Amino acid sequence: MSLRTAVSTSTGLAFAALQYLAAAGLVAYVAGDSAWISIGVAGLLALLAWGFFGELNGMFPTAAAIRRYMSGAMDDRVALTITFTYLSTIVLVVAADAFIVSAALTHVLRSPAWLTAVWTLALLAIAVLSNLRGVTVAGWLQDVATAIVLAATLVVSVVALDRSGTGLRTPLQPLHHHSGAGFLESVALGIFLYSAFEWVTTNAEEVRDPKHIHRAMLIAVGILFAVCAAMTTAMSHVLTHAQLITPYPQLSLGQQAFGAAGIWIMAGVTTVTALNTFNGGFITASRFVYATAREGSLPPLLSRLNDRAVPWVPVLVLGAISFVVSVVVEAVGGSSWQVLVAVGAALEAMIYAVAAFCVLRLRGRVPDQHRPFRVPSVRIVAIGGLVVFSVLAVVASVSVDNRFSPVPLVIIVVMGASSAAYTVTMVPRLQAAEAARRAARPSRRRPSRPAGAAGTGDPDAGATLPPVP
């Protein structure tokens, strides 16, 4: 995987069709056309997260990096519980995105509602098949799809603003007739616009140079700010409230820019977002599932590779689960997609807080561990990040569409409890079985390999695990 593909993976994972809905929802929290300020603040916080993940990934450049640094910083059972809960973020984003894309296609084509599930299945199938062909094919698809989505969204946003014929409304006064609490909620939602950019760290064994990972994340944050700020400003300026609350505000934005042709343009762009999100999600999440199964914390079936070194079982399982969840979202209807946005934002803020904690804890536990990238002024930065992201996680978990709602928090608690139950009951059995299998194998000497070497074969490439407390 080249730096270009690492950038497109990091950016494409974050820029899903849900971005359009999150951007439209963010407008309600601040005044006039100043929502871009919330996105900018969220972007600065994303840079904090970039620093945390950059240091941690440099220490553990493996597909199982999150497992290794979390188990070194806290009790392993707590680490696994958080890990499994966090993994659900990818499934939720892919599933909700599948529904949004399919709903937009159904609206544009004026097709029967039942075809939404068919569209969803077809798009997921394309992403699954491209992933099964190997990281090179999947990476090429990711590069093309992400470039199309970002360029088209930026052009449509700028043209829509230019054709509005009126000046921006209070672009520098987000609190005009709005509260500070609303601004805080807008920043929490803004975090979602960058969410999942850090998942590219699970491809640390696939890149040509381990340094590509933290460089790609930094570039991705800058690209996401530019595109999301333009898109949000355009939406707040040219769309009505009725248009903003639909499941496909990007279609109305395209209409404002290019008339009827703009609707079709944005329908096509929305379809492509499905490819980059599903494809990128499966590239990253499947490697993480594979690495976790490789260590014995998930069933060994999930650690199988095909002849192209792809963990094919996780790819198929992720595709199937995403399809089921998307059908559930469609069946529930209403504001279910807004709930998933809130859940995703809360989980992302939570994992950023966890990353800050891990950086701080590991600096004390393994101060001499090699760190190609180091967070400056670590105590101030990490403690500040821990506090800020924790507050934003709480805010996002109890807010849906600018109203108080405990539903996202309930969903997170249920997912966390389920993860904890699995960790306590199933993981010890799986790990004992894996240890027995390894003990029964004949001893074979492995050739040494350089630190951080690419490939999904060695779970400990380039990493030294600190002692688990």
Domain membership of residue 177 (yes or no) is yes
Provide the mean pLDDT of the chain. Answer: 82
With beta carbons less than 8 A apart as the criterion, state whether 245 and 24 touch: yes
Domain membership of residue 363 (yes or no) is yes
Continuous H helices in 133-246 = 135-164, 180-194, 211-238, 241-244
Domain membership of residue 92 (yes or no) is yes
Q: Is the dihedral of CA 109, 112, 114, 115 positive or negative?
A: negative
pLDDT band at 231 (very low <50, low <70, confident <90, very high): very high
CATH number of the domain where residue 141 is located = 1.20.1740.10
Long-range CB contacts for residues 174-180, cutoff 8 Å, separation at least 24 = 174/30, 174/31, 174/34, 174/35, 174/37, 174/38, 175/30, 175/31, 176/31, 176/32, 176/34, 177/31, 178/29, 178/30, 178/31
Domains of the chain: total: 1
Q: Is the pLDDT of residue 402 over 70?
A: no
How far apart, in whole angstroms, are the C-alpha atoms of residue 85 and residue 348?
A: 11
Domain containing residue 375: 3-433
Please write the tens of the pLDDT for every residue from 50-69.
999 989 988 888 766 777 88
pLDDT given for residue 22 in this prediction: 83
Domain membership of residue 459 (yes or no) is no
Q: Strand, coil or helix: what is 381? A: helix
pLDDT given for residue 462 in this prediction: 39
Which position has the token pair 């056309």?
Answer: 33
Please write the tens of the pLDDT for every residue from 453-463.
434 444 344 34
Strands (E) located in 309-438: 399-400, 403-404
Domain membership of residue 28 (yes or no) is yes
Domain membership of residue 455 (yes or no) is no
Q: Which helix (H) or strand (E) holds 300?
A: none
Domain membership of residue 384 (yes or no) is yes
Task: Between 265 and 435, name the one with better pLDDT.
Answer: 265
With beta carbons less than 8 A apart as the criterion, state whether 194 and 46 touch: yes
Domain membership of residue 463 (yes or no) is no
